Amino acid sequence: MSWRTIECGTPHSPSSGGVCISGVLYYKAADQLFSKASMIVCFDVRSEKYNFVRVRESSIGAVDTTTTLIN
């Protein structure tokens, strides 16, 4: 058995661990095309589709690895 590669179309580098909520994996990443701009990557495990949320540099302090999500 081996892992499959899913093409997302937006080159990025994960910069934190992720959290999976209701079948969607969320993680912080740096966009490799736009000067390492920060973003939150959302990967839907069921549909195997990516979505991206751009984060302003002034807001990035609120998105860190010590944040706890409460559902």
Name residue, tokens 């973003």: 39
With respect to residue 34, please indicate whether it lies within any of the assigned structural domains.
Answer: yes
The percent of residues above 90 in pLDDT, for the chain, comes to: 31
Please, what's the largest Cα pairwise distance for the chain?
43
Q: Distance between CA 2 and CA 65 in Å, rounded?
A: 29
With respect to residue 30, please indicate whether it lies within any of the assigned structural domains.
Answer: yes
With respect to residue 43, please indicate whether it lies within any of the assigned structural domains.
Answer: yes
Give the count of domains, the chain: 1
Classify residue 40 as exposed, middle or buried by CB count within 10 Å of its CB (0-12, 13-18, 19+): middle
Q: pLDDT tens across 5-38, in order?
A: 888 888 898 888 889 999 999 999 988 887 778 8
With respect to residue 22, please indicate whether it lies within any of the assigned structural domains.
Answer: yes
pTM above 0.85, yes or no: no
With respect to residue 39, please indicate whether it lies within any of the assigned structural domains.
Answer: yes
With respect to residue 19, please indicate whether it lies within any of the assigned structural domains.
Answer: yes
**Residue 26 is part of which domain span?**
12-58
